Structure 1
Amino acid sequence: MNQYAAPLRDMRFVLGEQQRYRALEYPALEDLSPDLVEAVLEEAAKLAGDVWAPLNTVGDQQGATRHADGSVTTADGFAAAYQAYVDGGWNGLSVDESLGGQNLPEVVSSSVQEMFQSANMALGLCPMLTAGAIEALTQHGSEALQTMFLPGLIEGRFTGTMNLTEPQAGSDLSRVRTRAVPDGDSYRLTGQKIYITWGEHDITDNIIHLVLARTPDAPEGNRGISMFVVPKMLVNADGSIGERNDVTCASIEHKTGIHGSPTCTLSFGENSGAVGYLVGELGRGLNHMFTMMNAARHKVGVQGVGIAERACQSALAYADERTQGRQPGAQADCAIGDHFDVRRMLLSMRARTDALRALELECAAEMDRARRASDAAEREAAQARVDVLIPVVKAFTTDQAVDIASMGIQVHGGMGYIEETGAAQLWRDSRIAPIYEGTNGIQALDLAGRKLARDGGAAVSALLDDVDATARALDDHSTLAGLGTALAAGGEDVRAGMQRVLTRGQQAEGGADAVQALATPFLKLLGHVLCAWQMGQAALVAQAAIDAGDDDAFYVQKRLSASFVIGQWLPEGRAQRAVLEADMQCLDDFDRHRG
């Protein structure tokens, strides 16, 4: 696999020129300068490229190994690479300083995480989940639990996991049956959880499991679910590691990709019961867990960008070095990147990756505004926008990442199907992202069934107002006017599609089914338009630099990427309006039991 080089120039463009470092304007960040941000990104790029990236193939080939005693050994070099990450202070990058973190904005943390996900997605999953555990305990844990577990998590001495799924309860968490019985100030948990990412490993001394379970008198359904902290190793009052808790890795999964990440079946309470501590309120475990899940969903979108970027770099490098065929009138073979069909694939990969990164970082900037803005109304508006953007970032980005990785295989031709190039690994690794943290269909239902319904589409309409403003700015520039017209038309498609979803969803009969049928096409349409919006903004910035006489080829390439996204990719998304407006009777009539 080709060596990974972090896309620092593009990150600086999005954060500094497109967003104008607006995340640094809040009072708590007044001492943080653009120069310091860029220094942080450069240091992360070194660790990701020099230490993590070379282990990507190692992890894929070796995987993780479970031993007879339930312990798990990770691939060669993983423990040292993780320790280098911890020693560099990367684990607590966006955590508040009062808790021992560095208090950097989410846009910086997300940019850093993209690098590590590009470099080694299997290893990057571990600190990604730890960050979610930190967020959940910070918001919902008691002072005693925070004192016991947060220092180890923030410092990276502990890692965190999320334990939701059980064999009989896939995405339907109302069926969770893990049991938590009161035992003095704690609880004793018994049950089994499956698909637990980094549920057992050898890179830290302790693992902090956040577990959904039911108390004996809990009602059925979601209201009976509570959340518990269950450490692999008990923690003493002085913070030292105590005895082993009653938690065992029963098996690890043999997966299509991310082989270096141990995905475990965990058994709680095979002996005396696993000691656990209630987080937050009884019966509100699902609500508390959503804090961790939403953080993870955004970061899964970051993973998608990371995999797409790595696939782009691999395909571009191969297309430059591989010679085959001749251009018309030429006497010698040319690089395959000179053929226009390959150029189409390469530009599609690059332009879409640029757009996805910009959208993901726009979501991160709104997360910063929701946390840090001084005005309560502004924080509320930002959170409403985040709530809309997260399902789009998670679902649309990961779907596109799979397609971009697949296109990378196609650029490689037959060699792409051979493992030694690494192109196939990127596709295999990427394929899990549309599935975990709530499948992408669930993300679409969240957007169309909950986020639209709760405010009548007000948050999406506010986003579309910004899309329209960018379209007008493009129309005001003679060189970019065509892009503005196309972008505005896409925005109108979303408004029409949104009204279709809202109207059908309000019908007394069949409304819920209609929303389910329309949800995924609507998310695809919105994702295309929002990416086009971000690239429209990028085109304005790049064209302004070109008009000012800057001959940096980067701006020319960014302008070309914007032209591709709006002119050639957006029409694919706009076609979803026809899907939304089509008759759905075929779905009613489809008999899934027939071949």
Structure 2
Amino acid sequence: MTHFKINQKDIFFILKEQLGYGSLCSLKRYRSLTEETLDLMVTEAIRFAKKAVAPLNEIGEEQGIRYEKGQVLCPPEFAEVFRTYGQDGWTAAARDPEYGGQGFPHMMRIVVNDFMYGACQSFNMAPSLTHGAAHLIESFGTGELKKAFVPRMYNGTFSGTMCLTEPDAGSNLAATQTVAYPEGDGYKIKGSKIFISWGDHDIADNIVHLVLARIDGAPEGVGGISLFVVPKYRLDDHGGVGPFNDVVCTGIEDKLGLHASPTAALSFGAKDGCVGYLCGEPNRGLAHMFQMMNSARINTGVSGMTLASTAYQNALEYTRQRVQGKDPAKRKDGYVLIIHHPDVRRMLLWMKASVDGMRSMIYTAAFWADLAAEGQDEQSRQHYQALTDFMTPIVKAYCSDAGFRVCETAMQCLGGYGYCRDYPIEQYLRDAKIMSLYEGTNGIQAIDLMGRKMRINDGAMFAAFAKEMENFIDAHRDHDHLGGHVRDLENAFARVREMADEMRRRSKDDPLQWASYTYPALLCFGDLVMVWRLLDMACIAWDRAQKKGRKNDFFRGKVAQATFFADMVLPHTIQRAGTCTRQGREIVELADTAF
């Protein structure tokens, strides 16, 4: 049986009962679709993930990848699935049909990635990156570039990457040293990039790199960076794969996890033979690249959540089969299944709530992104765009860290077996760790949230978030069963709001003290969103239970996970908010030599 496990009922409860995702079909762009079509896509994506993608997880872990004579070799099964993945429409599910897309709502790309990342994180990075790179070309490239590359990237013939990081320019992209020299209709590219996911491999006919470089003579800093399309192989006169383009893989990283995902170091133009093509406006490369970077950050949160999801489901299955110890209340003679032990149940309920809350958080943000792009009026689009922008660093940072902790807790449920490779959870744990590190570390996400996202447009993003939170609280404050927990959320939000106001002042008056506490501040917002989304599901489930009977275990589970999580988390949220505005200055005043 496949390692990948998912509760399809949980998926549809969020999509249909909580979000009403069928309403997207009323938007002009999606009027040819129906909710039944969206439902079918979800079930087919789960089927494909289990049947085609999930087997790659074990294959990739056992065989890994090989670096030989400047080439990266992958298990042959990866190439077959990559091509099928594109041909079946999963890579371009949410893109326009003009270049081979399926025309589904943008949020469906996130839903599909939920299943595909859970089935095999290492593999799904390849089509996900390819989608992002192709969409960049589709958004900013010339007609010639779009025609030459985008359809073949969407259909699984070519793959794509994003090339930002350099040895001396990691998160500080202003220090980018790769140079583009104008020559004819293109540019000669010279430089090197590191930590390039799927930067070299043999699963596609060509690799299309989206490279940040500085045109010779351009200004220093981020204002002088441009974006270039740099294929591994140039195209011939007929559009086919032509000569090698002097893009050399100089090595791959030996990593804790993601053993089947090559992380490459690339050299561009070492022999003066690398040609790139400008994508978008000169000196606007970083602004263009943010489209792909923000998408990658959301998908990092998706990865953390979905690895947590399948880890929880595997742990749950184990606890229903493993017999160990006696019942502490002596309800049954002899040894019992470990799911009957209260401490194991505590871990299971926390994981259940964490996974459901993260999935709702992510799907909701994706739903808002569609409303931001396709909403009926400008005011509505601006509101949902503000929400989407505000949620991006929270989704990335909170879900990547919480996902890792769920994997760790799932391992704890299995005891010593969880630490062994007999079960997949130890691989999930290793694979999940990178999520807090790449696409901008979680500390960087916190600085973005508590800095730019709080200040831009006079705080419009936070105001949009606060409006949504207040609307939910106002609607459910007096709920017959859950009103007390909603009021607890209201109190916690008020405290976090006070903290955010104080930190906004400190960001100008005392930036070092402000920067010392941006990460715990982000966690406060993540906690609020989790409790909000869980209580929202609980209110829906409670109403359904009244109609169908209180003994409906599925609905009872939704209510129980929300009340448990709120009671366990909100007191810590309030206390953490207090620590973010403490007066102690140990962090900023302690001498370097005292550490």
1:196-228 residue CA offsets vs partner (Å, 9 max, x unmatched): 000111111011100111122122211221111
- Give the Cα–Cα distance (whole angstroms) in 1 for the partners of residues 512 and 399 of structure 2: 25
Q: Which residue of 2 aligns with 1:428?
A: 430
Q: Which residue of 1 aligns with 2:474?
A: 472
Q: Which amino acid aligns with 1:462?
A: A
Q: Give 1:504 shift.
A: 0.9
- Give the Cα–Cα distance (whole angstroms) in 1 for the partners of residues 520 and 457 of structure 2: 20
Name which of structure 1's ranges 570-579 and 377-386 shifts more when overlaid on structure 2: 570-579
Determine if contact 1:467/1:487 at 8 Å carries over to the other structure: no
- Give the Cα–Cα distance (whole angstroms) in 2 for the partners of residues 461 and 564 of structure 1: 29
Q: Which residue of 2 aligns with 1:272?
A: 272
SS in 2 for 1:324: strand
Q: Which residue of 1 aligns with 2:405?
A: 403
Q: Which amino acid aligns with 2:349?
A: L
Determine if contact 2:507/2:515 at 8 Å carries over to the other structure: no
Q: Which amino acid aligns with 1:534?
A: R
Q: Which residue of 1 aligns with 2:442?
A: 440
1:241-295 residue CA offsets vs partner (Å, 9 max, x unmatched): 1111110111011100010101100111121231100111221111111111011
Q: Which residue of 1 aligns with 2:390?
A: 388
- Give the Cα–Cα distance (whole angstroms) in 2 for the partners of residues 281 and 264 of structure 1: 28
Q: Is residue 256 of structure 1 aligned with residue 256 of structure 2?
A: yes
- Give the Cα–Cα distance (whole angstroms) in 2 for the partners of residues 383 and 413 of structure 1: 44
Q: Give 1:391 shift.
A: 0.6
Determine if contact 1:6/1:49 at 8 Å carries over to the other structure: no
- Give the Cα–Cα distance (whole angstroms) in 1 for the partners of residues 357 and 398 of structure 2: 11
SS in 1 for 2:217: coil
- Give the Cα–Cα distance (whole angstroms) in 2 for the partners of residues 468 and 244 of structure 1: 57
- Give the Cα–Cα distance (whole angstroms) in 2 for the partners of residues 414 and 57 of structure 1: 21
Name which of structure 1's ranges 138-147 and 391-400 shifts more when overlaid on structure 2: 138-147
Determine if contact 1:190/1:273 at 8 Å carries over to the other structure: no
Q: Give 1:384 shift.
A: 1.2
Aligned partner of 1:350 among 349, 352, 363: 352
Q: Is residue 16 of structure 1 aligned with residue 19 of structure 2?
A: no
Name which of structure 1's ranges 96-105 and 398-407 shifts more when overlaid on structure 2: 96-105
Q: Which residue of 2 aligns with 1:244?
A: 244
Q: Give 1:163 shift.
A: 0.4
Q: Is residue 523 of structure 1 aligned with residue 540 of structure 2?
A: no
Q: Which residue of 2 aligns with 1:34?
A: 35
Matched ranges for 1:175-186 at <5 A: 175-186=175-186
Q: Which residue of 2 aligns with 1:67?
A: 68
SS in 1 for 2:149: helix
Q: TM-score, normalised by structure 1?
A: 0.96
1:25-63 residue CA offsets vs partner (Å, 9 max, x unmatched): 212212211211111111111111122112212212221
SS in 2 for 1:325: strand
Aligned partner of 1:462 among 458, 461, 464: 464
SS in 2 for 1:431: helix
Q: Which residue of 2 aligns with 1:486?
A: 488
- Give the Cα–Cα distance (whole angstroms) in 2 for the partners of residues 65 and 483 of structure 1: 53
| Same amino acid, percent of matched pairs | 36
- Give the Cα–Cα distance (whole angstroms) in 1 for the partners of residues 280 and 146 of structure 2: 12
Cα gap change, 1:385/1:505 in structure 2, threshold over 3 Å: closer, same or farther? same
- Give the Cα–Cα distance (whole angstroms) in 1 for the partners of residues 324 and 476 of structure 2: 40
Q: Which amino acid aligns with 1:524?
A: L
Q: Which amino acid aligns with 2:195?
A: Y
Q: Give 1:377 shift.
A: 2.0
Determine if contact 1:456/1:502 at 8 Å carries over to the other structure: no
Q: Which residue of 2 aligns with 1:191?
A: 191
For these two proteins, the number of residue pairs brought into alignment is 591
- Give the Cα–Cα distance (whole angstroms) in 2 for the partners of residues 36 and 435 of structure 1: 37
Q: Which residue of 2 aligns with 1:231?
A: 231
- Give the Cα–Cα distance (whole angstroms) in 1 for the partners of residues 231 and 339 of structure 2: 52
Q: Which amino acid aligns with 1:545?
A: R
- Give the Cα–Cα distance (whole angstroms) in 1 for the partners of residues 208 and 269 of structure 2: 16
Q: Give 1:331 shift.
A: 2.1
Q: Which residue of 1 aligns with 2:77?
A: 77
Q: TM-score, normalised by structure 2?
A: 0.96
- Give the Cα–Cα distance (whole angstroms) in 1 for the partners of residues 153 and 76 of structure 2: 23
Q: Which amino acid aligns with 1:417?
A: Y
Q: Give 1:456 shift.
A: 3.7
Q: Which residue of 2 aligns with 1:449?
A: 451
- Give the Cα–Cα distance (whole angstroms) in 2 for the partners of residues 30 and 213 of structure 1: 41
Q: Which residue of 1 aligns with 2:507?
A: 505
Determine if contact 1:211/1:230 at 8 Å carries over to the other structure: yes
Q: Which amino acid aligns with 1:441?
A: G
- Give the Cα–Cα distance (whole angstroms) in 1 for the partners of residues 320 and 591 of structure 2: 49
Q: Which residue of 2 aligns with 1:546?
A: 545
Q: Which amino acid aligns with 1:549?
A: K
Q: Give 1:559 shift.
A: 1.3
Matched ranges for 1:77-156 at <5 A: 77-156=77-156
1:447-483 residue CA offsets vs partner (Å, 9 max, x unmatched): 1110101134332233223223322333322111121
Q: Give 1:2 shift.
A: 6.0
Name which of structure 1's ranges 529-538 and 548-557 shifts more when overlaid on structure 2: 548-557
Aligned CA RMSD, in angstroms, stands at 1.6
- Give the Cα–Cα distance (whole angstroms) in 2 for the partners of residues 417 and 456 of structure 1: 49
